[in-house]
Chain A
Amino acid sequence: MSDEPLVLGIETSCDETGIGIVRGHTLLANTIASSVDEHARFGGVVPEVASRAHLEAMTPTVERALEQAGLRFSDIDAIAVTAGPGLAGALLVGVAAAKAYALGLGVPLYGVNHLAAHVAVDQLEHGALPKPCIAMLVSGGHSSLLLVPDVAKDVISLGSTVDDAAGEAFDKVARVLGLPFPGGPYIDRAARDGSGTAIAFPRGKYDDGTLDFSFSGLKTAVARWVEARERSGEPIHVPDVAASFQEAVVDVLTRKALQACREHGVQDLLIGGGVAANSRLRALAQERCDAAGVRLRVPRPGLCTDNGAMVATLGSDLVAAGVTPSSLEIPADSSLPITTVHV
């Protein structure tokens, strides 16, 4: 397989500077520098702070990746970079770096869609994607159901959140509960000591027949519930609130994911994005997939959150598919639609 190209992927759409190196679907390096701690006291990602951190971190993180893979710059055959969607200023740093590396090394550039990369990354662990598959992408900025005939060429949107993303709901609820940012992992942990059925929180768009999501009503319901308890001086059992909130999110997500599989006659479901690291989502999805005879694929948590390996993987698929490389004049596109796999 050593005739497959070596692709270096660059991810800077949010607060992680991620560099990955793959050969085909083999992961050779995955290094990351995160500015998450700098954002924590602001309760959310501050775009200018993230952009500054990307510039600081880029070349050292690339060097570390080359070191990890035991490679030199001259070994790299192609550069892939997240061209969007994401924070405009943050994306721009990665795109500028990618163009400069491509220019300096004389290799092709592939500007890729961050969301399609979250789907593609699973191939590093579980091999080539079945064609087609259903992908559910749940992250800090997105909650989407996708029909994926071919991740290198064709991604079709079936539904998405009409308000908050699932990860955003986790982060906001965590804040209400006084848990650190980003709250997803903390809710996941707290929920292990609580009961998912302790409080009946609302499940938005549960029975509306669409493949869209809504999490803002749920988030507000949790905030109201907590406020009411505080006002009446009653104790609040954080693990129960966390578990019940988490159960509501995960119940809707898995229900709609399986609805999508059914409606499109697809037997393979992939879950990606940061929220796919959630232990209850993984467990309930497995249970429901088993019952429905659907094969489930979820990458390991380290590949679910933003990273460079996912970008390199999609880049590698584009090279293999013979897709024309991107021009060195591509813009960063903060609202790149999911249907545009590469630019």
Chain B
Amino acid sequence: MLVLAFDTATPAVTAALHDGERVLAESTTVDARRHGELLVPTIETVLREAGAVLADVTVVVAGAGPGPYTGLRVGLMTAQALAASLGVPAYGVCTLDAVAYGSGLSEPFLVATDARRKEVFWGHYEDMRTRLSGPAVSRPHDLPADLPLVGAGARMYAEVVGASRLLDAPEYPFAGALASLAAEQLGEPDIREVVESGTHPVLSTPRPVYLRRPDAQVPAAPKKVGT
């Protein structure tokens, strides 16, 4: 197994290779405005560092969001097209799950990432592997009280949520964590069918989770003009 994983649903453009047992290479650049330019070079970096070539990749995994849409689409489009051209499957994993996995926590907590417009994308976790609710989008002061928080969206709104609730854990969905989380699932029999049926708890088809409708105003009805 050689998993190529990447995520572009936060300011971090991050890619990793995982051989089913461990992360072979990981590379991350934080630049919220250049996902489209950075992703391919980041993938090339991890291939080079792992001494692998694309033809060795057996599965592509991408963060499915939620996250700012423009960047999110870069990762998912890349996953779909790369997998199609390599003839391998592509899967999505909730971006918040990768942040949760990276925390290594074994007690309940919230993950929050920046959703722009003064909101956060968030999820409620039982532990690093188990999402209890979400993903959802809310204003930071509407997040459930008391639980500790992980993720860049929590740090951004530290004053609102209370700085004492912030945990010291990786704040982005680093691709090493994403790949490890996915690799734990990929050995299951019939994994492709289960994912396509939409019932798998971690893996999904590589489609975006937006959580919001597109902003668009329906204009006043055009006037009726005679014949």
Residues of A within 8 A of B (CB): 41-43, 46, 48-49, 51-52, 55-56, 58-59, 62-63, 73, 88-89, 92-93, 95-101, 103-106, 175-178, 226, 230, 235-238, 328-332
Contacts and interface: CB of A to CB of B under 8 A. Distances in A.
Contact of A62 (B74, B84, B219, B225): B84
B226 interface: yes
Nearest to A52: B214
Given A42-B217, A46-B214, A329-B38, 6 more contacts: A51-B70, A89-B70, A103-B54, A104-B54, A236-B227, A328-B41
Contact of B74 (A92, A236, A237): A92
Given A48-B69, A96-B81, A103-B54, A41 B218 contact: yes
B85 A330 contact: no
Contacts of A230: 223, 225
Nearest to A96: B77
Of the listed residues B76, B83, B84, B223, the one surrounded by the most CB atoms of chain A closer than 10 A to its CB is B84
B225 A330 contact: no
Given A43-B222, A52-B214, A328-B41, A100 B227 contact: no
B224 to A, nearest CB: 5
Contacts, number: 130
Contacts of B70: 51, 88-89, 92
Interface string B16-27: 000000000000
Given A55-B77, A55-B208, A177-B225, A96 B39 contact: yes
A144 B83 CA distance: 40
A238 B36 contact: no
Of the listed residues B76, B216, B219, the one surrounded by the most CB atoms of chain A closer than 10 A to its CB is B216
Interface string B58-97: 0000000000011001101111111111110000000000
B34 A331 contact: yes
A46 B62 CA distance: 26
Contacts of A237: 226-227
Contact of B81 (A51, A88, A104): A104
A103 B77 contact: no
A336 to B, nearest CB: 14
Contact of B84 (A73, A95, A177, A178): A73
A51 B79 CA distance: 16
Contacts of B73: 51-52, 55, 89, 92-93, 96
Interface of B is mostly: helix
A176 B225 contact: yes
Given A58-B80, A175-B222, A236-B226, A49 B85 contact: no
Of the listed residues B37, B87, B210, the one surrounded by the most CB atoms of chain A closer than 10 A to its CB is B37
Nearest to A227: B223
A236 B84 contact: no
B43 interface: yes
B86 A104 contact: yes
Given A55-B208, A104-B82, A235 B226 contact: yes
Contacts of A101: 81-82, 84-85
A48 B225 CA distance: 31
A104 B53 CA distance: 10
B217 A95 contact: no
26 contacts: A42-B217, A43-B222, A48-B215, A55-B76, A55-B80, A55-B208, A56-B207, A62-B84, A89-B69, A89-B70, A92-B70, A92-B73, A92-B74, A93-B77, A96-B78, A100-B40, A100-B78, A101-B81, A104-B81, A106-B54, A226-B225, A236-B225, A237-B227, A328-B44, A329-B38, A331-B34
Nearest to A241: B225
Nearest to B40: A328
A137 B121 CA distance: 44
Nearest to B227: A238
Of the listed residues B40, B54, B76, B215, the one surrounded by the most CB atoms of chain A closer than 10 A to its CB is B40
A48 B36 contact: no
A95 B36 CA distance: 8
Contacts of A97: 77-78, 80-81
Contacts of A332: 36
B216 A59 contact: no
Given A48-B214, A52-B214, A73-B84, A99 B40 contact: yes
A96 B75 CA distance: 8
Interface in B187-211: 207-208, 210
Nearest to A109: B40
B219 A42 contact: yes
Contact of A100 (B82, B210, B214, B219): B82
B219 A43 contact: yes
Contacts of A51: 69-70, 73
A117 to B, nearest CB: 20
Sorted nearest first, the 5 A-B pairs with minimum C-beta distance are A104-B85, A100-B81, A48-B214, A96-B77, A328-B40
Nearest to B215: A48
Contacts of A235: 226-227
Contacts of A62: 81, 84
